[in-house]
Amino acid sequence: MPGAFTRRPGGAQAGFSMIEALAALLVLSLGLLALAGFQIRVLTDSVGASNQNIAMQLAGDMADRIRANPVAGASTVSPYVADWSPADEDEPKPSCVSAAASCNAAELAAHDLWSWKHAVAAALPGGLADVQGRAAAGGMLFMHIAWDEPAVLNPIAPAPGWQCPTGKACLEVSVAVPQP
């Protein structure tokens, strides 16, 4: 009969079944989900590395400031030693910004700390900084920079002597202070 449907033999299939299509879709979606998770991990690690790079640059900036003011840096109780408190809103007096400014070593140290702490707070999320001096270390100053690092699931605890604020990632940089 022309136009009549022909029937296939018993075991032959005409195409994919619905279950096979759903299984393929499940495998594809799991692969894409794993790829998205990997991409998120790469982005968070990139932010963490960027924060650490910024912290290193800021620590290098402060090290250069201390080396440029050797009289203040080499004193028994260095004026560069500071706690974790954020910088005041007002610039220290006298201002040491212009080339015509006449600041002594202690005033320049106060201005350097103020500028540096503001730069740390502006550049890093929740950024704080301190400078510690240790007589036992032979005139070394230790700069600590701390920032919020939400991407870190299990942060490595810094040395207790740093007194790093709780819940923050910390970095320590030491500066050999020139002796007068």
Q: Is residue 154 a contact partner of residue 37, using CB atoms and an 8 Å limit? A: no
Please tell me the predicted confidence (pLDDT) of residue 11: 58
Q: Is residue 83 a contact partner of residue 113, using CB atoms and an 8 Å limit? A: no
Q: pTM of whole model > 0.75?
A: no
Please tell me the predicted confidence (pLDDT) of residue 14: 62
- Distance (Å, whole) CA 142 – CA 159: 12
> SS3 letters for the chain?
CCCCCCCCCCCCCCCCCHHHHHHHHHHHHHHHHHHHHHHHHHHHHHHHHHHHHHHHHHHHHHHHHHHHCHHHHCCCCCCCCECCCCCCCCCCCCCCCCCCCCCCHHHHHHHHHHHHHHHHHHHCCCCEEEEEEEHHHCCEEEEEEEEECCCCCCCCCCCHHHCCCCCEEEEEEEEECCCC
Task: Please give the chain's pLDDT, 180 residues, in tens.
Answer: 565 666 656 555 666 688 888 999 999 999 999 998 888 877 777 777 888 889 999 999 998 888 888 665 555 577 888 888 888 888 777 777 776 778 888 888 888 999 999 999 999 999 999 988 876 656 678 888 998 886 655 556 677 777 888 878 888 888 776 554
Compute CA distances 38 → 31, 67, 155, 160, 165, whole Å.
11, 43, 20, 34, 30
Please tell me the predicted confidence (pLDDT) of residue 164: 82
- Distance (Å, whole) CA 79 – CA 171: 21
Please tell me the predicted confidence (pLDDT) of residue 7: 61
